[in-house]
Amino acid sequence: MFRSLARQSAIKQVAARLSARSMSTVVEDSVGPKCYGGTYTVTLIPGDGIGQETAASVKAVFDAAKVPVEFEQYDLSGFTPENDKLMQEALASLRRNKVGLKGILYTPIRLGHSSFNVAMRKELDIYAAVAHCKNMAGVEARHKNVDFVIIRENTEGEYSGLEHQSFPGVVESLKIITRPKTERIARYAFDYAMRHGRKRVTIVHKANIMKLADGLFLNTCRAVAKEYPSIQYNDMIVDNTAMQLVSKPQQFDVMVMPNLYGSIVSNIGAGLIGGPGIVPGANYGREFAIFEPGSRHVAKDIQGRNTANPSSLILSSVMMLRHLQLTEHADLIENAVNKTLSSDSVKTPDLGGSNSTTDFTKAIIRNL
């Protein structure tokens, strides 16, 4: 009896701790992020392109804000051979620490290894990608009052990577949609809407053409929606979604969709509010979380120029701090970024200015 009561008490404590994580829907994760002496250990993978520069900005801001986080850094690259030991070491670190901050890894086009970005999400079953597209003060944008959240299934769809050549000149590429994973991402989207005071979820699909695959996704999401009577929902064909986004984005609140559509829509969203440099993102699973820019660009064309806007990775790290329940540090850094973006005195080239990444980082530190 005493053992049973003790177990119930332990379960309640774990549930209470997990419910405080603002983005996670986990209820069975018994082992949280690694914290020793009040300091969290986080896996850092700067990524390719501008990754080293933006990661350096994050570390400088964290040092200035005295954030109790230590990074285990792995300079993994998409140019690294697929069987590289460093990939396995990075995955082992993520499994150990439960939380990672990551830039974007390069993926070769046509030839070469499959995407390391996708491999990490599949290996750790990090199934929910979240990107927040919102107007920011001081950043010129095509539309005003834009504020919507894209929730993207991360582990299947066209990104399943199942392709083969059945005959010379004939390639078959398989799109995988399953009911359990669709239910999971749909519940995540509706849970997110409830927790964050959102009113409507839009289901994005192409069920008029892919009647079985997207038909399953649509019907499963509709069934889940009935469990949330307080949240409105509608559905929209993906090509119409693209048109509606560029004409009237204010109609969207929370959007849930399969993998490939999420990639396309998140890039449209970035274009609406000022570019990929200001869109934060996160990827959540039952046990692990990786935080990375919401619009996944390597930006290899400006690598090493010290002109990159570090806001997207810094704001992604703010989401990470909230996940770790370091709310005061998260608010401090977020307010400093917002103050810096709203000022005309320091702007990186993507925002119409001529300041460097270093200048922008120093401005954020001054505004802490």
Taking only the tens of pLDDT, the chain with its 368 residues reads 434 444 444 444 434 443 444 344 433 344 578 788 899 999 999 999 999 999 999 999 999 999 999 999 999 888 776 657 888 899 999 999 999 999 988 877 655 556 777 788 888 999 999 999 999 999 999 899 999 999 999 999 887 778 888 899 999 989 999 999 999 999 999 999 999 999 999 999 999 999 999 999 999 999 999 999 999 999 999 999 999 999 999 999 999 999 999 999 999 999 999 999 999 999 999 999 999 998 877 888 888 899 999 999 999 999 999 999 999 999 999 999 999 999 878 999 999 999 999 999 999 999 99
Write the secondary structure of 245-267 as one string of H (helix), E (strand) and C (coil): HHHCHHHCCEEEECHHHHHHHHH
> Residue 173: which region, alpha, beta or left (left: phi > 0; alpha: psi -120 to 50)?
beta
Q: What are 351's two structure tokens? A: 């925002």
Q: What are 160's two structure tokens? A: 């399943």
Q: What are 201's two structure tokens? A: 């979820």
pLDDT the model gives residue 109: 67
pLDDT the model gives residue 111: 58
Which H or E element spans position 236?
strand 232-237
pLDDT the model gives residue 318: 97
pLDDT the model gives residue 34: 78
pLDDT the model gives residue 160: 77
What is the β-pairing status of strands 170-176 and 69-73? unpaired
Helix (H, G, I), strand (E, B) or coil at 168: coil
Nearest to 101 by CA among 32, 51, 35: 51
Find out whether 42 and 74 touch, Cβ atoms under 8 Å.
no
- How far out from the chain centre does Cα 154 lie? 10
pLDDT the model gives residue 316: 97
**Whole-number Å distance between alpha carbons of 333 and 327:** 10
Helix (H, G, I), strand (E, B) or coil at 10: helix
Find out whether 305 and 298 touch, Cβ atoms under 8 Å.
no
pLDDT the model gives residue 288: 95
**Whole-number Å distance between alpha carbons of 310 and 76:** 19
Cross-strand bridge partners of residue 176 = 157
CB atoms under 10 Å from CB of 239, counted, come to 12
**Whole-number Å distance between alpha carbons of 145 and 66:** 34
Angle CA 28–40–49, to nearest 5: 100
**Whole-number Å distance between alpha carbons of 40 and 190:** 30
- What backbone torsions phi and psi does residue 170 show, to the nearest 5 degrees? -125, 115
**Whole-number Å distance between alpha carbons of 233 and 152:** 16
How crowded is the C-beta side of 342, counted as CA atoms within 13 Å? 10
Q: What are 184's two structure tokens? A: 């999971």
Q: What is the pLDDT of residues 284-335, one digit of tens each?
A: 999 999 999 988 778 888 888 999 999 999 999 999 999 999 999 999 999 9
**Cα–Cα separations (whole angstroms), residue 93 to 22, 43, 105, 336:** 23, 6, 17, 30
